[in-house]
Amino acid sequence: MPGIRLRVDRPVTATVVRSIPADAAECARVLADATADRRTVRITGSGTKSYIGDISATDIELATERIAGVIDHVPADLTVTVGGGARIADVAATLARAGQFLPLDPPHADEATVGGVIAANSNGFWRARYGGVRDLLIGTRTALADGTVARAGGLVVKNVAGYDLDKLLVGSFGTLGVIVEATLKVLPLPETTDGLIARFASPGDAFAAADTVVRAAARVEACVVQRLAEGAWQLAVQARGGGPTVERALRDARREITARHGDATALGDDLGRMRELPARSIDGALVRVSLPLAASVAFAENAVRIDSFAALVVDAASGIARVHLVNDDDDAVIRDAEALVLAARMVGGAGRIERRAEHLRSRLPTWPTRPNGDFLMRRIKDAFDPAGILEPGRSAFA
């Protein structure tokens, strides 16, 4: 099999061999051989999201590190085409030299790859302002389990032909194929960036201020509520764009913060630390939920009262919340994590255990309850990967 190296793997995956294909065709051949031999495959970019899912042992680890780089950049069309193994940070550096940027700010920003961000549907706080991965993805090339390379979408923003396979790949966690190439929308670099962070005595005031900021005429780029185990409720706001627009957005935000008895100071690297909560949460458990916006404040109030609470970060614009739980009693962590996922479902949201300490993996599954669409997603998985070789245990449907 081309590009395969013997290795002694980490205890979690017990992978026998590692394959590093040089291009899409070689990647497809590796998958075809694996399908024929019924050998399971784990797909890795930089490995930043290897903690997601109830992963089991695989026979092959397929790395995309050689399928990287910027393949095509058309500044006039506001598009860029990159290899699936390209790091988001490297793409950003290339675009910056042309005065443009990729409007994605996922966790693990320094190391995350484009293919991994798409496969995990990994969005940050810019989602409400610019759209998420699904909105920015224009086209893909994907190596499939039968050895073919499928192209979906196109290379320009206006593309409506054919079935939108790109959207199916977003959030598939590599269970349908290996993303070897992606074309995404880009934007001109903003003229100005500024922000603030405010402190409130109550969650009601913090979320009320956030709601007003998100709905304001001058749209902000990020609006995030945080609460740590010790300290006040915090609201971080960042605006980017033309000078007058940024000034208006922050002026409106300060007015609302003052009306809610908050205290605002200049924004430092606070948003970066909030965004990287998944990278830091190596102990206990990290619960990720998506909530109706109206339910955010009640969920947050309940989350900070539980015994294992350590940190809460809520994207006030999208309703995505993460809660970090830490406790010397493993049973308490498991109980509290499952309760938070159930609480999200009860208000019409959804949730999963995004990360947990290694010793909790066998006791705390990623999805304590089956997510909606189980039957349909399993049929799609069977159509793309009938032998079931791709990413066993990575998603709820694999």
33 within 8 A of 1, measured Cβ to Cβ: yes
169 within 8 A of 118, measured Cβ to Cβ: yes
Annotation: CATH topology of 1-189+367-398 = 3.30.465
The candidate with the shortest Cα–Cα distance to 185, out of 142, 134, 137, 130, is 137
Q: How confident is the model at residue 159 (pLDDT cuts 50, 70, 90)?
A: low
Task: State how far the Cα of 306 lies from the Cα of 292, in Å rounded to an integer.
Answer: 21
Q: How confident is the model at residue 136 (pLDDT cuts 50, 70, 90)?
A: very high
72-101 burial, b at 16+ Cβ within 10 Å, e below that, comes to ebeeebebbbbbbbbbbeebbebbeeeebb
Can you tell me which residue has the tokens 């995956």? 13
137 within 8 A of 118, measured Cβ to Cβ: yes
Q: What is the DSSP string of 242-263?
A: SHHHHHHHHHHHHHHHHHTT-E
Annotation: CATH topology of 192-360 = Vanillyl-alcohol Oxidase; Chain A, domain 3 (3.40.462)
The residues spanned by each domain of the chain are: 1-189+367-398, 192-360
Q: How confident is the model at residue 5 (pLDDT cuts 50, 70, 90)?
A: very low
Going across the sheet that includes 4-6, the strands are: 4-6, 17-19, 60-63, 41-44
At residue 13, the pLDDT reads 43
- Assess whether pLDDT exceeds 90 at residue 4: no
- Assess whether pLDDT exceeds 60 at residue 155: yes
Tens of pLDDT, residues 58-102: 999 999 999 999 999 999 999 999 999 999 999 999 999 999 999
At residue 138, the pLDDT reads 95
Residue 33 backbone phi and psi in degrees, to 5? -65, -40
In sequence order, the β-bridge partners of residue 369 are none
Helix residue ranges per DSSP H, the chain: 24-37, 88-96, 114-120, 127-130, 133-136, 165-169, 203-215, 243-259, 270-275, 277-280, 296-303, 330-346, 374-384
Tens of pLDDT, residues 292-350: 999 999 999 999 999 999 999 999 999 999 999 999 999 999 999 999 999 999 999 99
Tens of pLDDT, residues 266-303: 999 999 999 999 999 999 999 999 999 999 999 999 99
Residue 127 backbone phi and psi in degrees, to 5? -55, -45
259 within 8 A of 220, measured Cβ to Cβ: no
Mean per-residue pLDDT over the chain, rounded: 92
Q: How confident is the model at residue 255 (pLDDT cuts 50, 70, 90)?
A: very high
For 130, how many CA atoms within 13 A lie in the half-sphere containing its CB?
A: 25
- Assess whether pLDDT exceeds 90 at residue 227: yes
Residues 6+ apart with CB under 8 A from 216: 249, 252, 253
**Lowest-confidence region among 161-165, 224-228, 325-329:** 161-165
Tens of pLDDT, residues 9-63: 333 445 579 999 999 999 999 999 999 999 999 999 999 999 999 988 899 999 9
What's the mean pLDDT in 254-267?
97
Tokens of 272: 């970066």
Can you tell me whether residue 49 is helix, strand or coil?
coil
Residue 152 identity:
A
| Topology match between the domains 1-189+367-398 and 192-360 | no
Task: State how far the Cα of 229 lies from the Cα of 259, in Å rounded to an integer.
Answer: 26
Can you tell me whether residue 378 is helix, strand or coil?
helix
Calculate the dihedral angle through the C-alpha atoms of 368, 374, 380, 384, rounding to the nearest 10 degrees.
20
Q: What is the DSSP string of 82-142?
A: EETT-BHHHHHHHHHTTTEE-----SSTTT-BHHHHHHHT---TTHHHH--HHHHEEEEEE
Q: Parallel, antiparallel, or unpaired: how do β-strands 60-63 and 17-19 relate? A: parallel
Residues 6+ apart with CB under 8 A from 315: 125, 127, 128, 222, 223, 224, 321
At residue 158, the pLDDT reads 52
Strand (E) or helix (H) holding 235: strand 233-241
